[in-house]
Structure 1
């Protein structure tokens, strides 16, 4: 609004209304500027700062309401203060090399002339020895397996009959019939791409360096064939997954070139932990490809599952028959963004929420080795009171903070998700957050940075199948290459039962 001094009204009431209107415009513009500066600070941290969410802060923004703490906030901060004085930093220590590795012992001794004392010229005697280790790398060994099958025929029948009586031994089963690939080669290609993120075009170059012409098109066809072979094992793992009391889920975008929609999605479902434990919950990670993010994808996959489903705030999960448990890490992340926008070395309202959430995570850390009943009991005694305190604090501050600010967004997220965030208090089997699924999907996200996209939907489905097998093997502390090799050999024979191929039952040679 442009103001000309000559056009100002003489009527005081009209002038007062104009000033009030101008004040509203200024306040609105201040909120927009503040919101943009907050977003700039958050984007700058994500682009150039550390990925850790341990209360970062940089830059300067306005000293708005979210930076002003009242007496109630100071009390909460004092109650939630974390004592770091007892933290002792561990010194880095080199671990010894594994004893099961092949060893070559090299002894470096003094010459006979040097085994004489420099002072009295007497002969020296051995009093001990020193040992040191170095690690040597031997490049991959590639060989050709040439199969010879002698042919046999009957001379007598050849003279009296025109029929062919030639006999020879049956060829051993192979994952790729009439192909040159063995299970060991296929497992190497699969683990290189899906475990270590090495695209097929780079593997093609690697084989060329060994003098082997192996095109990426051929390897791609092999991968899709292997995906089909692993389908029965995948279905068995899915059945086991859906029988668990708690499932974690997440989704991430994927570009598929020959697909109708611009962006497709890889969904991940998992249970247990991402490392071997002594509990009875199996560690399973399964991927599922769809060309959309519609609720029908998760609804059809879970197929009437009625246990706990731990997810982020995406509304599609709420369409399932499962009981939804929220993710405290997502709520915390919102307050971390508000802390970042708050400014460097400043203490504000975001610190109150972060410290209270930090106490919740501190309790969870103390329950790491406790059983389900003990977790439930401690959460009821300690965690519930902290969450109630945090919720009251959010209610008391929601009208004081601009809703479009980072802190306002964090408060809104808490209010919308609070009924899901407290679900973990109901059952000791539920985690405080959905980091299990986020860690499970991370290898896919890292691999995607290397191979960028899938060419076809069929290839994306094969990738979902193989990522599932690889990540489940890793979660069960198996050597991925050996596990793939054994499974491919067995699945090529089409066994009636695949129970022995499950990661917790497998016996690797």
Structure 2
């Protein structure tokens, strides 16, 4: 996120971090949401600060960097870090080289994704049972093939890089075979990053850090509303009107969260008329 910095001839490059969750794939009780955090950079100290006190599972794109960023609080409340199958790496290799082996890996992973599509929305227990029965053999066969082929390509090639990444992070890549709550990829958060990238291209930069922080808050509200299939403009217009008019008091602000707002509209259909 470029931010204007008085005295410099070019904007200062800052970051938006996206924290997203969506339990709908396993019928969980928590509503889907995304929160964006504005920060000066993307270093390990920054993510360690944001995750202080967190316990649970983090599905991330880059595992190694976060391994070294574990806050001390995680010693008391462990957080499991896992990276996702980097199908994209093999797709990129196939697009540029038409490698038959890259295509084979893609097709093997597509079979796993097809199973995930079938069980989406099932309980965590049902998903885990299906994964152990159907997906585990596919992943083990893939591991065998990757291990057999890793020495067949130049060590500095993109295909060798993709293979080594998968093998070196196999435990994290296959955690979904041991926990029905876990997704097979990190698309939940990656989908939440796209609107920010599009908005950045349209607006080019933020005028100050304060404006960037406001941008992050507004983006969190609007993109969470989209996750609940709400019209963002209608939602935000009503929320702001309720706050400004005093209809919703400060101790009632939780009622304006997207999922509570949507539930209230369902209970009173005439309010949406």
> TM above 0.5, one fold?
yes
Q: Secondary structure at the match of 2:213?
A: helix
Alignment match, 2:268: none
The structure that has the greater radius of gyration is 1
Q: 2:37 aligns with which of 253, 273, 288?
A: 288
Aligned residues: 250
Shift of 1:488: 1.9
Residues 327, 434 of structure 1: 8 Å contact kept = yes
Unaligned runs of 5+ in 2: 266-270
Shift of 1:271: 0.8
Give 1 or 2: higher helix fraction: 2
Structure 1 residue 268 corresponds to structure 2 residue 30: no
- Structure 1: distance between partners of 2:26 and 2:226: 13
Q: TM-score, normalised by structure 2?
A: 0.84
- Structure 2: distance between partners of 1:447 and 1:276: 28
Alignment match, 2:46: 297
Q: List aligned pairs for 1:206-355, cutoff 5 A.
A: 254-258=1-5, 262-272=12-22, 279-318=28-67, 319-320=69-70, 321=74, 322-328=79-85, 331-343=86-98, 348-355=100-107
Shift of 1:379: 0.8
Structure 1 residue 374 corresponds to structure 2 residue 126: yes
Alignment match, 1:486: 238
Q: Secondary structure at the match of 1:303?
A: coil
Shift of 1:367: 0.9
Q: List aligned pairs for 1:30-429, cutoff 5 A.
A: 254-258=1-5, 262-272=12-22, 279-318=28-67, 319-320=69-70, 321=74, 322-328=79-85, 331-343=86-98, 348-429=100-181
Q: TM-score, normalised by structure 1?
A: 0.46
Q: Secondary structure at the match of 2:258?
A: coil
Alignment match, 1:497: 252
- Structure 1: distance between partners of 2:257 and 2:176: 29
Q: Secondary structure at the match of 1:269?
A: strand
Residues 336, 354 of structure 1: 8 Å contact kept = yes
Q: 1:449 aligns with which of 178, 201, 208?
A: 201
Shift of 1:474: 1.1
Q: Per-residue displacement from partner, 1:193-233 (whole Å, max 9, x unpaired)?
A: xxxxxxxxxxxxxxxxxxxxxxxxxxxxxxxxxxxxxxxxx
- Structure 2: distance between partners of 1:302 and 1:487: 29
- Structure 1: distance between partners of 2:38 and 2:129: 39
Shift of 1:467: 0.2
Distance change >3 Å, CA 462–CA 298, structure 1 → 2:
same
- Structure 2: distance between partners of 1:376 and 1:313: 24
Residues 298, 316 of structure 1: 8 Å contact kept = no
Distance change >3 Å, CA 392–CA 418, structure 1 → 2:
same
Q: Secondary structure at the match of 1:285?
A: strand
- Structure 2: distance between partners of 1:457 and 1:257: 8
Instruction: Give the 4+ runs in structure 1 shifted more than 4 A.
Output: 275-279
